[in-house]
Amino acid sequence: MFSGIQHIAFCERQYSLAYIEMQWSENVATIEGHHLHEHCDDPFAGESRGDLIILRAVPLISRRLGLTGRADVVELHRSDNESSDKSISVESKTGRWLVTPVEYKRGKPKHDECDEVQLCAQAYALEEANNIIIAKGYLYYGETKRRSEVVFSDQLRMRTEDLALRMHELFDAGITPKPQLASHCKSCSLYDICVPSLNRSTQSVTSYIERSLDLQ
């Protein structure tokens, strides 16, 4: 799933717990995210006005990354000056149209690249489907109610490909990495399932069992 690349960029263990072990838990952040996506999850809520076409809940697949899912929103902007390798034609519409993915997120822009790689992965799928190059997309944040532009640079594309490869490595091997306690752990909805603080113990499993038996 495209969403998995956002999770593995945040934490490899979170990705494995959610997508390999199929464990999930809701918190305030995930519930707020569900509410934010209610409108853009309706594929029949698309609209067209002038030089803009808005498509919602667009199914996507990237064979290069081995990922599938859907884009929250794909916008088509009329741009007649663009070449065929950067724009598409639209049935019953005149001119050329730029393809722009838009991902909706709760909260506000982050200091890391977790959201950006998910958007970039969607751009890969749109590029493959239309044989074009997409220069940028947008992340819309519910808390600020503003968009952040994301340029699909070579560096971001390489990072996206590396993360997709790592996803497949973990998934194929069925590996869940050990917990690593970090500052972002408390914001994770899987904190109580992961219990990252347990990994700070220097006591071996054997010592723990022996100590427990001695106490009985």
Query: Is pLDDT of 49 > 80?
Result: no
> What pLDDT sits at residue 125?
98
Q: Where are the domains of the chain?
A: 2-178
Average pLDDT over residues 185-202: 64
Instruction: Please check whether residue 144 is in contact with residue 109, taking contact to mean a CB–CB distance below 8 angstroms.
Output: yes
Distance CA 160, CA 175 (A): 20
> Does 28 score more than 50 pLDDT?
no
Say yes or no to pLDDT of 89 above 60: yes
Residue 88 has pLDDT above 80, yes or no: yes
Q: How far apart are CA 16 and CA 14, in angstroms?
A: 6
CATH for 2-178 is: 3.90.320.10
Q: Which of 24-28, 36-40, 68-72 has the highest mean pLDDT?
A: 68-72
pLDDT at 192: 67
What's the pLDDT score for residue 87?
A: 93
